[in-house]
Amino acid sequence: MITQAPNLIFSQLASDEQIDQTVQALKAKNIQALW
């Protein structure tokens, strides 16, 4: 039996701008990223 329903707000795709921002932030921390 499922213990709790998933909070579906966390299933929404990020926008292109948000992905770009994340990729740049990861790179700044030496984590290679692309999309």
- What's the sign of the alpha-carbon dihedral 22, 27, 32, 35? positive
Residue that has been written with the tokens 């701008």 in this structure: 17
Cβ atoms of 10 and 26 within 8 Å: the answer is no
Number of residues that bind other proteins (CB under 8 A): 29
Closest separation between CB of residue 30 and other proteins, Å? 4
Binding mask 2-31 for other proteins (x = CB under 8 A): xxxxxxx-xxxxx-x-xx-xxx-xx-xxxx
Applying CB under 8 A, the residues found at the interface with other proteins are 1-8, 10-14, 16, 18-19, 21-23, 25-26, 28-35
